[in-house]
Amino acid sequence: MAHMTTESTAYAADIEAVKEIVAAVERSQRRKDPDAFLALFHPDAVWTTAHGKILVGLDAISEFTRGVLPAANWDGKVSYEVVHVLFIRPDVAAIKVRQRYLSPDEESEGAPLYVMAKQDDGRWLLAACQNTAVVAD
């Protein structure tokens, strides 16, 4: 029984850790802070934007982020909610997120999928991300 308790405690800690990465993404977006955002990525990460632009590696993600994030047209009202966590392996998780941007004249929603990998030092980093715009019916 102790083994199971230890396993479930580790599992709960990993769920909290991946939720904290999503919360850190939200904070970086609210502040329009590229450095805080980019610190969450694995160096070899792959990112696909909501409009289908494929960015491979931290340099490409950085160049894109530094070009768009500071000039983003929302006033910091953005929320990221974890709606599902799937552990593919103990050190790899797929996280489905509900992303909402609120501006004075419109609201938009995204449905990103973040694949995170647990590093040897215990930190979780974004490894493969697909940002998908939600189109209203």
Output the DSSP codes for 114-133.
Answer: EEEEE-TTS-EEEEEEE--E
pTM score, two decimals?
0.89
- The pair of structure tokens assigned to 60 is 């490409």
Domain containing 92 — which CATH number? 3.10.450.50
Task: Assess whether pLDDT exceeds 60 at residue 64.
Answer: yes
Rg, C-alpha atoms of the chain:
16
pLDDT digits (tens, 9 = 90+) for 95-130: 999 999 877 777 889 999 999 999 999 999 999 999
Question: 64: domain range?
Answer: 2-134
pLDDT digits (tens, 9 = 90+) for 28-38: 999 999 999 99
What is the count of structural domains for the chain? 1
